[in-house]
Amino acid sequence: MLAVRSALFNACFMILTPLFSLLVILFRPFGFSASWFWAKLWSNTIFVLLRLLCAIRIKIEGREHLPEHACVVVAKHQSAAETVAMPILVPPYTWILKRELFNIPFFGWALALMGTIGIRRGSPREAIKQVISDGSKKLDEGRWVVIFPEGTRSAVGTAGNYQPGGVILAHKAEVGILPLAHNAGALWPKRGFIKKPGTITFRFLPYIPADEVKSIHRNELLKRLQNDIEAATRELGG
């Protein structure tokens, strides 16, 4: 039965994601907010289906840590679930992702039209320059910036190599950092067909204000973020 439910959910996900992506594309000429409406509705719809078909609920902790102004969100990357959930977790934002994702029909095209920062990972120096330039511009416009410092999804119980892009951007743009931990990989595994019943908990950790970001050495802050995010992830079972 679990396999059947997962198959139904996966089929719905594969149908609805291109459909909502097309709506994001079609409404983009009417402004960012018009497209954002459909992106957020996609997120909510997927999680309603996840609850109905796979008995997976979501819980959001630490909302009190969200600042009133745009910042850099540094998030754990374990699953597709956190990607789907992001529009309902934080205010309107832009992602920093690998540029190859723009090649995905409809979904990738929608990402590009929404101003996602697509970097070429084969050229780290140029990627950092782009993150600073484009990310600072989005932050100045009041758009939050979301980055997965591991660059790719890590298996449950493991940590990828945290990259300093988010820390560098926050320092250069003089904004704060909001860490995000979760256990999504335990229920929606990396490349996993079966979705396991339970609760995905997204936990925002204490906000690190801009003045603190500026006063701490980059490597020290990156290590602190990694330790805090990974510890919270393990505590949640991720």
pLDDT at 121: 75
What dotted CATH number matches 56-236? Answer: 3.40.1130.10
Using CA of residue 104, residue 107, residue 113, residue 116, what is the dihedral sign?
A: negative
Q: pLDDT tens, position by position, for the chain (238 residues)?
A: 899 999 999 999 999 999 999 999 999 999 999 999 999 999 999 999 999 999 999 999 999 999 999 999 999 999 999 999 999 999 999 999 989 999 999 999 999 999 999 988 777 788 899 999 999 999 999 999 999 999 899 999 999 999 999 999 999 999 999 999 999 999 999 888 999 999 999 999 999 999 999 999 999 999 999 999 999 999 999 9
Task: Tell me the HSE value of 227 on the side-chain side, using a 13 A CA sphere.
Answer: 6
The pLDDT tens digits of the residues spanning 158-206 come to 999 999 999 999 999 999 999 999 999 999 998 889 999 999 999 999 9
Among 155, 143, 169, which Cα is nearest to 225's? 169
